[in-house]
Structure 1
Amino acid sequence: MAGKLLLVDDEPGLREAVQAYLEDSGYVVQVASSAKDAWELLQQQLPDLVISDVMMPQVDGYQFLKQMRDDDRFKATPVIFLTARGMKADRIAGYQAGVDAYLSKPFDPDELIAIVQNLLERRTVAVAASQNPEMEGIAKQIAAELRGMLNPTSGIVKTPPPIRIDLTPREQSVLDLVAAGLMNKEIAKQLETSVRNVEKYVSRLFGKTGTNSRTELVRYALEHGLTN
C-alpha cells in the first residue's frame, strides 16, 4: 500500500512540482499552503509522513513541528524539512525540534524520494517493534542513547568524541559543500570538476562514514566534527 504523505509549502510552484514527483513515485499526497491548513488536515487523517517548508507566514515550520510533537497523536510521525535555510545552526535547530531529516533547497527530487522511503521503512520497523516486547526494549535503549546526545538542561547538542576518518583534501572539500546544502552540479562548478567526479567523491564519503544518503552524511559529519 502506498504511503500517505502531507506536503506543506506556501510556494505554489514548488508545492505542485514536489506533489507531482511524489505521486509519480507511487505516494498518496495531501497538500497544504500553510501550517494552519496542514493542522486541520491532520485532524482529519493521520499521514505516514509529513514534508514541510520552514519559512512560512504566521506559523513557521519549527512552530508547526512543535505543535505536532506536543500532541501524542503525532509524536512519532516522521517529518522532513524542505528549506532554503541551510546553515549549520538552522539544521541543528531543526534536529533539536524533532525533525527526522533536513533537505536544503534546491534539492534533488530523487534524494527526497530516498529519504521518504528510508523514513517510512524505519517507521514500519518501529511499529513492529512496539508490538514485540523484546524488540521494544531494544528500540527504547536506542532512543535513550539518541536522547543522551542532547543536554537536558541547556538543549545544546553534545558533540560525540571525534572519529578519525582519513579524508583526502578533495573529499573534505566535497563534504564541506554537501554540508552547506549544495547539489552535485553546484559542487562540480565550484570545484571546477565534472559531476561524475563529484558523484564518485560522494560515494566514497558514504563508504567511509557508513551512511546511505546525503542527509545521513551531513548529520554524521556535524555530529562528529568532520565539517564546520
Structure 2
Amino acid sequence: MPGQLVLVDDEPGLREAVQAYLEDSGFAVNTASNAKEGWELVQQKLPDLVITDVMMPQVDGYQFLKQLREDPRFQSLPVVFLTARGMTGDRIQGYAAGCDAYLPKPFDPDELVAIVTRLLKQRESLKASGGSGETPDVADMARQIAEIKAILTQRGAIVQSNSSVKLDFTPREQSVLDLVVDGLMNKEIARRLETSVRNVEKYVSRLFTKTGTNSRTELVRFALENGLIT
C-alpha cells in the first residue's frame, strides 16, 4: 500500500537505513533530523503517517506528538514511536500519550513495514466510513459481532483468562475492548465511558495494533478465542 511518510530521527545511520527500507517497500519517505524539521515537513507534506524517535534533543517525541495532536489537521494522523526504551511502562506511557504503535530499538524492519501497512489500511477504512471509525452499516456490524459470539459459545471456544495469549492492555483499552465485544459502536462506547468519540477511535486503533487485527469483527473473534475480555 503506497503512502506518504515523514520519518524523524536524530541518528543519521538509522534514519537513512529505515528510509531506504521503507522506500524499497513502496512508500514515499521524507526525513527530518529533529522534531522542529519534522513539524515543518508534516505541515508541508500532509503525510499519511509519521514515524518518530522518542529520545531526541531539544524537542522529544512526546512533545512532538503533543504538537501534532493539538493541531486539528493531525489529530487522527497515525504516529509510530521508535525508541530504545522498550519496557512495559515505557510502552504504556507512549500509548497513553497518543501514539498508534510503539516499536523498541533494535527492531526488525519487516515488523515496521507491517505496522505501517496496517495503520495505513485502518486510516483508509476510517476515510471510507466518513472518518467516524464506524462501519457504514452499524446494524450489520452489530449482527456480525453477535453471530461470532454465538458461534464461538456453541463451539466452546471462549476460553478463560488463563489463555496463553498475554497482551498489555491499559485499563481503558480493556474497558473499550469489553464494550466492543458487547457490540457497542464508538458513539455508544464514548457515552458509556464519558469520553469523546475521538478517544474511543484511538483506543480501538491501538487494540487493532496490539492484537494484529484489522476490523472490529476480527478483534471480537480474537478477543473471544483468547479469553481477553473481563
Decide: shared fold, TM above 0.5.
Answer: yes
Q: Does 123-132 or 91-100 show the bigger shift?
A: 123-132
Q: Which residue is equivalent to 1:51?
A: 51
Q: Distance in 2 between matches of 1:14 and 1:55?
A: 14
Q: Does 123-132 or 12-21 show the bigger shift?
A: 123-132
Q: What pairs up with 1:70-149 in 2 under 5 angstroms?
A: 70-130=70-130, 135=135
Runs of 4 or more above 3 Å deviation: 131-134, 209-213
Unaligned runs of 5+ in 1: 139-161, 177-208
Query: Residue type of the partner of 1:116?
Result: V
Shift of 1:137: 8.5
Q: Which residue is equivalent to 1:165?
A: 163
Q: 1:85 is paired with a residue of what secondary structure?
A: coil
Contact 2:126/2:134 (<8 A) preserved: no
Q: 1:120 is paired with a residue of what secondary structure?
A: helix
The two structures have a TM-score, normalised by structure 2, of: 0.61
Shift of 1:35: 0.2
Residues 40-73 of structure 1: CA deviation (Å, up to 9, x unaligned): 1112120000000000000000110011011100
Q: Distance in 1 between matches of 2:76 and 2:47?
A: 11
Q: What pairs up with 1:176-191 in 2 under 5 angstroms?
A: none
Is 1:32 the equivalent of 2:32?
Answer: yes
Residues 179-224 of structure 1: CA deviation (Å, up to 9, x unaligned): xxxxxxxxxxxxxxxxxxxxxxxxxxxxxx96469xx9xxx9xxx6
Q: Distance in 1 between matches of 2:164 and 2:131?
A: 42
Q: 2:135 is paired with a residue of what secondary structure?
A: helix
**Cα distance change, pair 15–70 in 1 and its aligned pair in 2 (3 A):** same
Q: Distance in 2 between matches of 1:134 and 1:87?
A: 33
Residues 128-180 of structure 1: CA deviation (Å, up to 9, x unaligned): 11168973685xxxxxxxxxxxxxxxxxxxxxxx933047xxxx8xx99xxxx
Residues 106-136 of structure 1: CA deviation (Å, up to 9, x unaligned): 0000000000100000000001111689736
Q: Distance in 1 between matches of 2:133 and 2:93?
A: 33
Q: Distance in 2 between matches of 1:132 and 1:14?
A: 36
Q: Distance in 2 between matches of 1:133 and 1:111?
A: 25
Q: Distance in 2 between matches of 1:35 and 1:133?
A: 29
Equivalent pairs, count = 158
**Cα distance change, pair 85–137 in 1 and its aligned pair in 2 (3 A):** farther
Shift of 1:20: 0.2
Contact 2:22/2:29 (<8 A) preserved: yes
Shift of 1:88: 1.3
Query: Residue type of the partner of 1:118?
Result: R
**Cα distance change, pair 39–212 in 1 and its aligned pair in 2 (3 A):** same
Q: 2:59 is paired with a residue of what secondary structure?
A: coil
CA RMSD of aligned residues (A): 3.3
Q: Which residue is equivalent to 1:64?
A: 64
Paired-residue identity, %: 62
